[in-house]
């Protein structure tokens, strides 16, 4: 029954049916309410997760209560799997930012699979490499983009592939969360959006974003980046 979700996860693509069954047999669907913690950094780890629906925030937290959001994930994304390499201790915290359905799978099974099944190991490598590239972009953005540029870049990555004119997109989650995702305060986000609309001709009303033409937006946002639009498949 869970097969479709598993199958569509890159980690399990082209895996022999037998092994796939092992996973789906023990998979448990967890439901999380908005704001609920899935696990905390430092917790002993027994499961890794695949998101069926909803959004999940990955972050670090300081003693002072400050948060550094490193990623926000949705359907078919995997998280927590890294604990396999970290002595079964989660190296970050995860929280549902809206009601979620999440598949929990035992890490021990993943560990065995990685050690014994070459295809899984190779798939995992692909996933890790993807993640690494994404993180590297993240660091680049934090280092050299201004707040309005980071927003522009974020919007560009929400545009469906191929579209170039009269684009309408909906912000995927609330602005407070977008702000922390982009490493800024909500107030700064609000002001930076204003500045962005003035400089690039886009319109943002509530959660709706209108981009008449990508050009001026990408010119403004990507000038401070090592790659230009389209910024590859990094979401």
| Residues making contact with its own copies (CB under 8 A) | 41, 60-64, 66-68, 70, 82, 84-86, 91-92, 114-115, 118, 121-122, 124-126, 128-133, 135-136, 138-140, 142-144, 183, 223-226
Q: Does residue 190 bind DNA (CB under 7 A)?
A: yes
In the complex with DNA, which residue's Cβ is closer, 6 or 153? 153
Please report how close the Cβ of residue 43 comes to DNA at its closest, in angstroms: 25
* Contact yes or no for 234/197 (Cβ under 8 A): no
Q: Does residue 175 bind DNA (CB under 7 A)?
A: yes
- Helices 107-116 and 17-26 cross at an angle (nearest 10°) of 170
State the residue for tokens 């996860």: 9
Please report how close the Cβ of residue 220 comes to DNA at its closest, in angstroms: 13
- Buried-state track 36-61, b at ≥16 Cβ within 10 A, e below 16: eebbeeebebebbbbbbebbbbbbee
Residue 192 binding target from its own copies, DNA, none, CB below 5 to 8 Å by type: DNA
> What distances in angstroms separate CA 225 from CA 49, 139, 149, 183, 220, one per listed residue?
32, 11, 9, 17, 10
Cα-Cα end-to-end distance for the chain = 28
Q: Does residue 194 bind DNA (CB under 7 A)?
A: yes
String of contacts with DNA for each residue 108-147, x by CB under 7 A: --------------------------------------xx
Residue 147 binding target from its own copies, DNA, none, CB below 5 to 8 Å by type: DNA
Phi and psi at 94, nearest 5°, equal: -135, 140
Among 163, 185, 203, 208, contact with DNA (rule: CB under 7 A): 185
Which stretch in 8-16, 43-51, 86-94, 201-209 sits in contact with DNA by CB under 7 A?
201-209
Q: Beginning with the edge strand found earlier in the chain, give each strand of the sheet holding 67-73 in spatial order.
A: 37-39, 93-96, 56-61, 67-73
Residues that bind DNA (CB under 7 A): 146-148, 174-176, 183-194, 204, 206-207
């Amino acid at each position: 029954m869970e097969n479709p979700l598993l199958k569509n996860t890159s980690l399990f693509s082209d895996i022999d049916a037998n092994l796939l069954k092992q996973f789906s047999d023990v998979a448990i669907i967890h439901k999380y309410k908005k704001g609920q913690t899935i696990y905390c950094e430092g917790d002993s780890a027994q499961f890794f997760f695949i998101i069926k629906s909803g959004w999940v925030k990955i972050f670090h937290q300081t003693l002072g209560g400050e948060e550094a959001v490193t990623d926000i994930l949705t359907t078919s994304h995997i998280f927590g799997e890294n604990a396999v390499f970290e002595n079964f201790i989660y190296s970050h915290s995860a929280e549902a930012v809206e009601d979620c359905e999440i598949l929990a799978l035992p890490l021990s099974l993943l560990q065995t699979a990685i050690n014994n099944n070459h295809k899984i190991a190779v798939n995992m490598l692909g996933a890790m490499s993807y993640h690494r590239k994404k993180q590297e972009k993240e660091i680049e953005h934090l280092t050299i983009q201004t707040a309005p540029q980071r927003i522009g870049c974020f919007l560009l990555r929400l545009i469906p592939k191929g579209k170039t004119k009269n684009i309408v997109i909906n912000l995927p989650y609330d602005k407070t969360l977008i702000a922390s995702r982009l490493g800024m305060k909500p107030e700064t986000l609000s002001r930076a959006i204003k500045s962005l609309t003035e400089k690039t001709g886009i319109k943002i009303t509530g959660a709706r974003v209108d981009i008449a033409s990508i050009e001026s937006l990408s010119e403004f946002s990507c000038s401070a980046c090592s790659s230009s639009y389209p910024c590859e498949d990094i979401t």
